[in-house]
Amino acid sequence: MDDAVPLLRMEGISKRYGGVKALEKADLSVNAGSIHAILGENGAGKSTLIKILSGVVGPDEGRILLDGREVTFASPAAANQAGIVCVFQELSLVPELSVADNIVISDPPQRFGMIDHKAQRRIAEEALARAGAADIHPRALVKDLPLSRRQIVEIAKALARKPRILILDEATSALTAADVAKVFDVCKRLRSEGLALLYISHRMNEIRELADECTVFRNGHNVASYRAGTRSDDEVIEMMIGRQYSHVFPAKPDSGSASKSAPVLEARSLSWAGRLHDISLTLHPGEVVGLGGLDGQGQRELLLAFFGVLRGLGGQVLIDGKTVSIDSPAAARAAGIGMALIPEDRKTEGLMLPMTVRENLSFASLDRITKAGIVDRDQEQELIDDMVRLLAIKTAGLDIPVGALSGGNQQKVVIAKWLMRQPRIILLNDPTRGIDVGTKQEIYQLLRKLADTGAAILFYSTDYDELIGCCDRVLVLYDGAVRRELVGAEITEHALIASALNIEAEGQSAMQEVNA
Amino acid sequence: MSDMASHGRAGYLPGFLRRADPAVLTAFACIVVLLFLGSLYSRNFLSPEYLLQQLKVASFLGVIATGMMLVVLLGQIDLSVPWTITAGAMMACAAAAYGPVGTALAMPFGILCGVLIGLVNGIGVAYLRIPSMIITLATNAVVQGLMVVYTGGSSPQDTATPAMRYVATGSILPGVPNAVIVWALVGIAMVFLLTRTGFGRTIYGIGNRERAAYLSGINTRRVVLIAFAMCGGLAAFGGVLLAGYASKAAQSMGDAYLLPSIAAVVLGGTSILGGRGSYLGTVAGVILITLLQSILSVMQMPEAGRQIIYGIVIVAMLLLYGRTPASR
Amino acid sequence: MKEWRYWVAEQRGTLLACGIFLLMFAIYTSNHPAGFTANVVETAANKGVLLAFVAMAQTLVVITAGIDLSVGMIFVLTNCVASALVVGTPMQTALGILAVLVVGVLCGALNGAIVIYGRLQPIVATIATGAVFFGIALLIRPFPGGSVNEDLADTLTGKIFGVVPASLVLLLVIVLLVWVPFRRSVLGRGAYAAGSAEAAAYMSGVPIRRAKFAAYMLSGLLAAFGGLFLTFFTYTGEAAYASGNAYTLFSIAAVVIGGVSLYGGRGSAIGAIFGALAFRTIGDLLFVFDLGALWQPLFQGVILLVAVSLGAFGLFRIRNRLEWFL
């Protein structure tokens, strides 16, 4: 690292999305023949770094040096050309084509203008063998393979492009333990062949086993680099946290006061499609319960399950102590249940962007403001005025498209359209993602206010600060199951991260530290 | 009342004006241009009699296009319109053969048949999630088959009831053809439905983003089903009117209405992807298409030229404002 | 090895269509008053080949996740063109055939340009271009008529060695010259990839637009072969609106029976050929069972309705209802 020119250097990379800075003066240095792990919380800037390196987006400032020479990538193809190949989390395979077709898709071998199937077969078999998956038949259709095998094909496809730097972005998140072991073997062999591997993973044990170098990102900046094995997990977690509380949270009531009342919502061993396992929880009126954990551990599915979106749900859901079967959002919002869901993506699930603010606000309450099917405009206006006042929605008028509003105000409209129904149970799916700090704080105040008036709130957030600041209890999910329940003072960043990463021992010790 | 509220009131124009967009204005501008061109060709073109006659012809298409607009607003399409029209016409005439009761129920029966066809389409689209284009083509074929079996392949002998003829050709108000009044009533009902009712709101909502509408607790499948049923009913009603106009039903009398009905809706600024469009635009589209047809026939343009000009005008106007957004 | 299993899996739709066809054809010939004779086969082949060409044309567009509602009108238009140009000396006839095929390619190219580069929805765009094509056909043939080089026509619609229908041989030749090369080319693969997962294909550097455009052009070419063959079959050209629409509809039915996915990315033109032959045979079954021609349209419609509804069974596997709305 000190003597030779590193294979790859990224210097002073910054990137902003709108007003949000994703990366600020980030540096990274990667050597040939090594595995370099990148660690960081949700939103620490890892994915942006990878996107810049693989040519998907361009940096606002900073430079990339390959073998000491400055390079710029206009497209993923250009990055591939330079030997940088990324295995993305979201699959880039074509499901209806065969494994071999997919492996050679960007540049199929040709003879007389036709695709040379023999050569293609050879290339595919080679790549599959290098990826440690010689058992996958090149003629199998990708759509017939299970997710974990597809991920391996994705790696084989990357290898067929003869990379010098291979980026594995959460490449093991969908894999079974046996497949992970295979991928590890592949990674080690590639390292011995002189490749540089950038390995992004949330799984600490993987990083411990695999990485040579580690770089920790926080708030869009690399805060530390160290040789693998020289820091304890606890120290690594401290490096990942180390952040100022940037939000002001409303005061929480005495813990336990809410949970004395009877639960309004209860789940008993919920399971679904191999993505949710045996989840039990209770939700009481007046409390804010958080869902924590790494992104994609089943939090979204859990909220959708309650809201009647998922089919074939195992286990029981009880409302006011009575078993109910909710088979649609329409049933979930109905009078006896009174549930509301602030969905994940406000642009495609929460709002109809081209429609007006007015139409969006009253959309979930049409049944309440219509008489014989006809919209009672006075009543509609009244309810809308209430909501605009309650949430302080800033808009140039009610009859402009809601898409013209700022992100924060759009989110307020989504929340308002549900509050108009005065729900008893409010499910929120990461409601503050991508909105400004001011609006975030208003939302925190609002959540507490709603809880104080008796609503029960189940709140998934990818931002640990929010969970700590807002929640009376937090359930940390890992791999579709509740890993841990943190109550009151136990909710610390350290505890959240430790249990999110599924580190048993360190998590315990961390908690002891906090309690001490 | 708060400041915000009064502001909201001020912006509260009638829905069809509020939604008026450049496409509608373009369509109306084209109507003016066509009238001007027509008047250059023949002085009669601007006479009240001629214009009323055009409006009368337009009203059949208007009724049919109203139903089509409903499904297009959902982001769907109904290609079973041709034989739904024909079935409506034939069944109404057929009912007339069954004595006074049949005569009385002829029109409702014809419309009911259309509703049934629409229900099949709606079940296919909403519940089986078959692409609307495919399922409606299939039902079109099935209905055609049923009608061929029923009529024996030749034009049926049944004739329209006097009531049907009166509705299509008579005039209850001096000088105003009944057909125009019928279209006006259907149109007013449609505007009311789209702008004043919860159902109308959900139509636009589903057309914009069915996912969001579903997550808002709307039974989107039922709305889609009802919309297809209404489209079928209105197409059949159009067929009943046409049968009244011609005194009888005929094989493939609906074929000539598929392209014009879609074109009228789309030229009127309703997005083929759904969620956006006003009835005023559809009115403009219907008149535009009818005038275009009329001018072409006044100019004694043969059928061939009409088809070509149709196709070109529709593609050209769609390229102006009907393109899907660039994905990259 | 289980190599053959993968081949079967790849060809499942095609094999199924082939099976349906053979079964239907067996029932048909065994109940036909004349039995399994060369003449019965010849007539069936000539009718089936017409639809087979149009179904192949439809397949190419459907593979890209599009649909061509003008394909029947291209068929009608090229029939009219052929009835005017494919006459005279062998040289003139050859040039005439070339002209017919060029017209077909141009029609396909127009559709492709409007859909791919104009970014219009295939449904509306092809309904509109269908009107244009029909209009042009009507310009050429206001009334049924025209003629064709009858020697050539008789050769191509007759029997080779008095046994094998020439039309089937012609179909085979065109499959080998048009479909097989496309299927095995980079563009062909691009068309499949674009139909299956356009975003993933784009991310992998597949030339999506060129591939789709090629598919539309070849679709026009195949429809033109159909129009040409229709002229050989009938000796005349006719701008028949109903017939154009019927062929469009039947082509969709044939494609569905032939195992081509209407959502794009899966299926083969060979499957569509068997789908077309099967569809024709099913329609003709009514004759041999004396059910009368009147029932035929209804019967064909019901087959289509059932065929498209079968695809809905996949719905029951969906466990997240939001996937309905993708």
CA separation for the pair A119, A116 (Å, rounded):
5
Contacts of B18 in chain A (CB under 8 A): 399
pLDDT for position B3: 38
Contacts of B137 in chain C (CB under 8 A): 249, 252, 304
CB contact under 8 A, B8 and A397: yes
Q: How far away is chain C from the Cα of B312, in angstroms, using its nearest Cα?
A: 7
User: Spelled out in words, what is the top-level CATH class assigned to the domain A250-338+423-516?
Assistant: alpha beta
Contacts of B197 in chain A (CB under 8 A): 370, 373-375
Contacts of B328 in chain C (CB under 8 A): 202
Cβ–Cβ contact B321 with C under 8 A: no
Contacts of A330 in chain B (CB under 8 A): 217-219
Could you tell me the pLDDT band of residue A257, with boundaries at 50, 70 and 90? Answer: low
pLDDT for position B322: 65
Cβ–Cβ contact C116 with B under 8 A: no
Tens-place pLDDT, residues A8-62: 999 999 988 766 678 889 999 999 999 999 988 766 788 888 889 988 888 999 9
CB contact under 8 A, B273 and C139: no
CB contact under 8 A, A272 and C266: no
Residue C78 CB contacts under 8 Å (≥ 6 apart), including other chains: C100, C103, C104, C107, C223, C224, C226, C227, C228
Fold of the domain spanning A8-241: Rossmann fold (3.40.50)
Q: How far away is chain A from the Cα of B202, in angstroms, using its nearest Cα?
A: 8
Q: Number of residue pairs across A and B with CB atoms under 8 Å? A: 101
CB burial class (10 A; 0-12, 13-18, 19+) of residue B183? Answer: buried
What is the DSSP-derived secondary structure letter of residue A253? P
List, in order of start, the domains of chain B with CATH numbers.
46-321 (1.10.3470)
Nearest CB partner across the interface for A76, out of C6, C203, C266:
C203
Two structure tokens written together for A342: 């602030």
Q: What is the mean pLDDT of chain A?
A: 86
What residue in B sits closest to C135 (Cα-Cα)? B304
pLDDT for position B281: 92
**DSSP assignments along C41-82, one per residue:** HHHHHHHHHHHHHHHHHHHHHHHTT---TTHHHHHHHHHHHH
What residue in B sits closest to C199 (Cα-Cα)? B327
pLDDT beneath 50: ranges in chain C: none
Mutate to test the interface with A, among C179, C203, C315 (most CBs of A within 10 A): C203
Q: What is the SS3 assignment for A343-356?
A: CCCHHHHHCCCCCE
Cβ–Cβ contact B224 with C under 8 A: no
Q: Which amino acid appears at position B297 of this protein?
A: S
Q: How far away is chain B from the Cα of A402, in angstroms, using its nearest Cα?
A: 12
Contacts of A399 in chain B (CB under 8 A): 8, 11-12, 18
Contacts of C207 in chain A (CB under 8 A): none
List, in order of start, the domains of chain C with CATH numbers.
3-325 (1.10.3470)
CB contact under 8 A, A349 and B276: no
Task: Supply the ipTM of this predicted assembly.
Answer: 0.86
Tens-place pLDDT, residues A191-246: 998 999 998 877 777 788 889 999 998 888 888 889 988 888 778 877 877 655 55
Establish how many alpha carbons lie within 13 A of residue A447's alpha carbon, considering only the half-sphere containing its beta carbon: 31
H helices of C86-196, where?
Answer: 90-112, 122-140, 150-157, 166-174, 180-184, 186-196
Nearest CB partner across the interface for A332, out of B18, B197, B217:
B217
**B162: helix, coil or strand?**
helix
Two structure tokens written together for C187: 């563009």
CB contact under 8 A, B315 and C249: no
**A136: helix, coil or strand?**
coil
What is the DSSP-derived secondary structure letter of residue A427? E
Q: Percent of chain A scored above 70 by pLDDT?
A: 92
Of the candidates A136, A177, A150, the residue with the CA atom closest to the CA atom of residue A89: A150
| Sign of the CA dihedral running B258, B206, A305, A402 | positive
Q: Looking at residues A373-391, what average pLDDT do you find?
A: 94
Contact criterion met (CB below 8 Å) for B41 and B295 = yes
Nearest CB partner across the interface for B141, out of C120, C125, C249:
C249
CB contact under 8 A, A352 and B205: yes
Q: What is the SS3 assignment for A184-236?
A: HHHHHHHHHCCCEEEEECCCHHHHHHHCCEEEEEECCEEEEEEECCCCCHHHH
pLDDT for position C324: 81
Contacts of A337 in chain B (CB under 8 A): none
What is the residue extent of each domain of chain A? 8-241, 250-338+423-516, 345-422
CB contact under 8 A, B305 and C325: no
User: Of A169-173, B50-54, C158-162, which range is least confident?
Assistant: A169-173
Nearest CB partner across the interface for B141, out of C138, C294, C301:
C301
What is the DSSP-derived secondary structure letter of residue B256? G
pLDDT for position A106: 84
Contacts of A274 in chain C (CB under 8 A): none
Cβ–Cβ contact A98 with C under 8 A: yes
Q: Percent of chain A scored above 90 by pLDDT?
A: 47
CB contact under 8 A, B134 and C202: no
Q: How many of the other CB atoms lie within 10 Å of CB of A90?
A: 10
Tens-place pLDDT, residues B77-113: 999 999 999 999 999 999 988 888 888 999 999 999 9
Contacts of B201 in chain A (CB under 8 A): 359, 362-363, 366, 375
Cβ–Cβ contact B305 with C under 8 A: yes
Q: Which residues is A23 bridged to in the sheet?
A: A15
CB contact under 8 A, B198 and A367: yes
CA separation for the pair B100, B162 (Å, rounded):
12
**B47: helix, coil or strand?**
coil
Main-chain dihedrals φ then ψ at residue A157, nearest 5 degrees? -60, -40
pLDDT for position B2: 38
pLDDT for position B127: 93
pLDDT for position A258: 58
Q: Which residues is A318 bridged to in the sheet?
A: A266, A323
Main-chain dihedrals φ then ψ at residue A276, nearest 5 degrees? -125, 135
Query: What long-range pairs does B132-135 form, CB within 8 A, spacing at least 24?
Result: B132/B71, B132/B76, B132/B77, B132/B78, B132/B228, B133/B77, B133/B79, B133/C67, B133/C69, B133/C123, B134/C252, B134/C262, B134/C308, B135/C305, B135/C308, B135/C309
Q: How far away is chain B from the Cα of C264, in angstroms, using its nearest Cα?
A: 13
Neighbours of chain A (3+ CB pairs under 8 A): B, C
Contacts of B140 in chain C (CB under 8 A): 249, 301
CA separation for the pair A29, A17 (Å, rounded):
24
Q: How far away is chain C from the Cα of A313, in angstroms, using its nearest Cα?
A: 9
What residue in B sits closest to A343 (Cα-Cα)? B215
Q: What is the mean pLDDT of chain B?
A: 87
Contacts of C241 in chain B (CB under 8 A): 255
CA separation for the pair A15, A263 (Å, rounded):
45
CB burial class (10 A; 0-12, 13-18, 19+) of residue A436? Answer: middle
CB contact under 8 A, B129 and C297: no
Could you tell me the pLDDT band of residue B300, with boundaries at 50, 70 and 90? Answer: confident
Give the N- to C-terminal CA distance of chain B in Å, as an integer.
46
**DSSP assignments along A69-118, one per residue:** EEE--SSHHHHHHTTEEEE-SS----TTSBHHHHHTTTS--EETTEE-HH
Q: Looking at residues A419-434, what average pLDDT do you find?
A: 91
Element (H, E) at A268: strand A265-272
Tens-place pLDDT, residues B132-155: 988 998 999 999 999 999 988 777
The β-bridge relationship of strands A374-375 and A8-17 is unpaired
Tens-place pLDDT, residues B182-234: 999 999 999 999 999 999 999 999 999 999 999 999 999 999 999 999 999 99
CB contact under 8 A, B145 and C129: no
Contact criterion met (CB below 8 Å) for A341 and B215 = yes
Chain B neighbours among C 174-213 (CB < 8 Å)? 198, 202
Chain C neighbours among B 105-144 (CB < 8 Å)? 124, 128-131, 133-135, 137-144
Of the candidates A397, A355, A368, A402, the residue with the CA atom closest to the CA atom of residue B9: A397
**DSSP assignments along A463-490, one per residue:** -HHHHHHH-SEEEEEETTEEEEEEEGGG
Contacts of C324 in chain B (CB under 8 A): 129, 214
Cβ–Cβ contact C243 with B under 8 A: no
Residue A513 has pLDDT above 90, yes or no: no
CA separation for the pair C71, C224 (Å, rounded):
9
Contacts of A351 in chain B (CB under 8 A): 209, 212
Neighbours of chain C (3+ CB pairs under 8 A): A, B
Establish how many alpha carbons lie within 13 A of residue A403's alpha carbon, considering only the half-sphere containing its beta carbon: 8
Could you tell me the pLDDT band of residue B26, with boundaries at 50, 70 and 90? Answer: confident
Q: Which amino acid appears at position A422 of this protein?
A: Q
CB contact under 8 A, B7 and A330: no
CA separation for the pair A46, A223 (Å, rounded):
12
**DSSP assignments along C192-242, one per residue:** HHHHH-HHHHHHTT--HHHHHHHHHHHHHHHHHHHHHHHHHHHSSB---HH
What is the DSSP-derived secondary structure letter of residue A13? E
The β-bridge relationship of strands A165-169 and A196-200 is parallel
What is the DSSP-derived secondary structure letter of residue B18? H
